[in-house]
Amino acid sequence: MQANTSNGNNQHDHQHGLNRFAVIPTALRLQADAERTGRGVTIALIDSGFYPHPDLTEPVNRIVAAVDVTQSDYRLELNGRPHEWDWHGTQTSVVAAGNGQLSDGTYRSLAPEAQVVLVKAGDRGKITEENIARGFEWVTKNKERYNIRVVSISLGGDEDVPYATNVVDQAAEAAVQQGLVVVVAAGNSGCTDQPKPVPPANSPSVITVGGYSDNNKLHNQNLDLYCSSYGVTVDGFLKPEIIAPAIWVAAPILPGTVNYKRAEALSQIAAAPDFQLSSFVRDMWQPAELPEALQDDAPEKIRATVEALLRENKIVSTHYQHVDGTSFAAPIVASVVAQMLEANPNLTPATVKQILIATADRIPGAPLVRQGYGVMNARRAVDYAGREMHRLKHKHFQPPRVEAGKIMFFYHNDEAERVMLAGDFNNWNAAQIRFARTNGVWRAEIAAPQPGRYHYKFVVDGERWLDDPSNGLKAPDNYGGFNSVLNVR
């Protein structure tokens, strides 16, 4: 249903400036293309609940639809009363498409002009796989009506199971087949004894996003891996494909809540000059959750107390805090995808995925199984997307397949001069099977070998040995990387 657009303006009698615990704005952190804003693209978010945040509704309401798959009479009311389960979806939607309205534009997303569709899949905060699947189905059914090109989801199912048997995975795969780019949070179990992603993060066609940390340091080259879920799924697919910022991410505090009022009061007190500190504490000690007697203390003690609470509650600006989790890495990637589609509306989901993989940068020395193809490079991906002129078909980005007794391999790389195929089936001879290039696609074929399991790689320009980016089936190559896996039946 359409969001109610009445009562659209929020009035504030205070500043929205950053405090000294501020985090790096996402656009600056990723050195993103400031000219791209996601204009003309709609991002659908599937989450537990939503509040229509001013970063999405002011000065123009960009929420084109809001639906609850658990009830038919749902209506998203602007300036309505938020529910406790609305915080997660509010934060993910603003990270994906917020314009920074309540931070004077500082904490805007990379797609601040994208439209959004909010799909609530939670029942009073409870999430079921059936409702997640219904969310995907609703988006797929209504993609033309709302021009939905991207789906961002930071929810997960119960356990790693074969994707062909899981209702969420099948709904996600169907969405991709219908032309939607599906971006999924990998999950946050990477530092546990069960680190593997669960549906829909284990789906082969989606873009599964893990996380990294730059420790809130600008231009930091020494990145750390976040505890995001990873590994080879029960079907043999390596996840995640890429990683994005998963900590020190600015996100809105849910309006109208106790936390919102506390952050607002603490921020006002922290910004006051010394001579007004006592009076500010006297007027706002209750919403700020300060001791009433603090008003009688010296300015130094008042500031120390207030700043300790700002740091403890991760408050970085009057209405924002910093958050962590792959729940926020995924919508960041979704915002980059919106920029890519703005630059080139003809991109297919498979092409988008291929470009993100091809332009990512691996963290040296970090396990490949945890980072996939590496750190998303936002500017490079958007630039590559804008230059992609070939109208490639879905088959060009699929794993090898059998046609008339031959196995066909495809590879897309406009910059390569020569591509060869090497694997178990030819004793890893890198000079025997050559790819031919036609209309932007490298293509090779071999006679189908005897049934069995084979490992292979592409050899690009005689120097780079690469696993097949279109084939999610991987196995360690005993050199710190991965071979692609081909199962012949």
Name all domains of the chain by residue range, CATH numbers in brackets. Answer: 26-251+322-387 (3.40.50.200), 256-318 (no CATH), 396-488 (2.60.40.10)
Per-residue pLDDT band at 315 (split at 50, 70, 90): very high
pLDDT at residue 423 greater than cutoff 60: yes
- Taking CA atoms, 320 is separated from 317, 335, 346, 348, 383, in Å, by 5, 19, 36, 35, 31
**pLDDT (0 to 100) of residue 9:** 40
pLDDT at residue 10 greater than cutoff 60: no
Nearest to 284 by CA among 270, 265, 303: 265
What are residue 132's phi and psi, to 5 degrees?
Answer: -60, -45
Nearest to 488 by CA among 440, 447, 438, 459: 447
Q: Report the C-alpha gap between 206 and 378 in whole angstroms.
A: 18
Helix (H, G, I), strand (E, B) or coil at 216: coil
pLDDT at residue 100 greater than cutoff 50: yes
Note whether 83 and 44 are within 8 A (CB): no
On average, the pLDDT of the chain sits at 93
Per-residue pLDDT band at 257 (split at 50, 70, 90): very high
What ranges in 214-290 are assigned the alpha helix state H?
A: 258-271, 277-284
Note whether 51 and 86 are within 8 A (CB): yes
Task: Give the residue-averaged pLDDT of 374-397.
Answer: 84
Q: Report the C-alpha gap between 184 and 367 in whole angstroms.
A: 21
pLDDT at residue 77 greater than cutoff 60: yes
Highest mean pLDDT among 124-133, 139-148, 466-475: 139-148
Per-residue pLDDT band at 290 (split at 50, 70, 90): very high
- Burial class of residue 144 (count of CB atoms within 10 Å of its CB; 0-12, 13-18, 19+): exposed
Share of the chain above pLDDT 70, in %: 96
Amino acid at 354: Q
pLDDT digits (tens, 9 = 90+) for 188-214: 999 999 999 999 999 999 999 999 999
| C-alpha gyration radius of the chain | 24
Polymer length in residues for the chain: 489
Least confident of 59-63, 125-129, 310-314: 125-129
Q: Report the C-alpha gap between 200 and 206 in whole angstroms.
A: 8
Nearest to 340 by CA among 370, 292, 382, 296: 382
**pLDDT (0 to 100) of residue 392:** 62
Highest mean pLDDT among 263-277, 387-401, 405-419: 263-277
Amino acid at 133: A
Task: Give the residue-averaged pLDDT of 273-277.
Answer: 95
Task: Give the residue-averaged pLDDT of 105-131.
Answer: 96
